[in-house]
Chain A
């Protein structure tokens, strides 16, 4: 057992493919929490998160040979599989929680009135809940970068591996996602007064 813990993910995977059940167990214990949290943060549903976690490792048992070390790490591979399963479930069940109208593809960036910060007067618990719901309300392509980069604290490079896109794409999506989140987190009274916001008003001091 101790010997298994000393192995890296690739070695565990190789060992698992030869029929070593303990290697699977160690790899599972090492990676299941991240996968489960990713699925939970993406879907907001514990049953889906459990299903996805199970599906990821069942897939690994069946199709471990498709893992290519040249394309990234085992953890990125597993997270990529999890992402595919989550997106499939979301497409089927539309479990996204909407706080407001999903205006994820808006091109304009609205900047709030300088006199008011929407997140100022939240308690910690309120803030966690609102951020959680706001993240769930993002379109999937923005949600996944927020979950990976901000909540899982995965680097841009590894996120790019998981999503199969360029690092620049990750960076720009994250920037856009944060802007969308700030808009969504604005309190209702500010939403009502949104006409007062200055659209793309920028000073050029």
Chain B
């Protein structure tokens, strides 16, 4: 070991810290041979003794007793008691609260919609609906567009068809289809394709037929099924192509 290496370990040696036995032995041997490093080690040891003496001298020092009383009093009259925390940061708590609020809002909204649906009168009598014929006027449109056309013709608004009011204008009545006219208020899903819908099959028009299906059919299209009403039927509009095959379906409530 040389003086440079000794300098590195001098502090650890003087502080009595854990170090490798070989390094310690070499450092002590070097201090025996080198007067300068021997003095360095002696100073370090004396300094360590000085620290210990100072620490011992101040070991009994502590804050005055009245400070505890002041703090207790301050604790009693503190403006807002600290809330329980489990070590998470306040920002995290804010996010958790925000997410909880958002979930609550969604749940309330869903509950309101369901309540609204269940309160509607069972006025949609099952009826044989005369097929609505879609004429092949728009040959350039894609199947999806054709479905949209059919949907729009059968209902002025895609999702909710308002009841036919008696005071409507003749122009409004003229534009409405029989399907809409016989339903006071309907909520429909979008048309969902059945199997692989080929564009050519809808180019020449199609028909919408109102049918009734077991409620379990909803599950086949990934829609939620109310298990309380599992045995009831559900109405649906089936889009038939000119080939007589069903190409798309939408559910009606």
Contact = CB atoms under 8 A, between A and B. Distances in A.
Interface of A: 14, 16-19, 21, 24-25, 28-29, 32-33, 35-37, 40-41, 49-50, 53-54, 57-58, 61-62, 64-70, 109, 111-112, 114, 116-120, 124, 127-128, 130-132, 135, 146, 150-153, 174-175, 178, 181-182, 185, 201-205
Interface in B177-204: none
A182 B10 CA distance: 13
A178 B47 CA distance: 8
B83 A36 contact: no
Contact of A205 (B33, B58, B63): B33
Given A29-B68, A204-B3, A205-B34, A18 B43 contact: no
A204 B67 contact: no
A50 B72 contact: no
Interface in B24-66: 30, 33-40, 42-44, 46-51, 53-55, 57-58, 61-64
Contacts of B89: 66, 68
B4 A202 contact: yes
Contacts, number: 156
Contacts of B47: 119, 131, 178, 181-182, 185
A53 B63 CA distance: 7
A25 B71 CA distance: 8
Contact of B3 (A54, A62, A175, A202): A202
Contacts of A50: 63-64, 67
A120 B39 CA distance: 11
Interface stretch (B73-81, B96-104, B148-156): B73-81
B84 A14 contact: yes
Contacts of A37: 58, 61-62
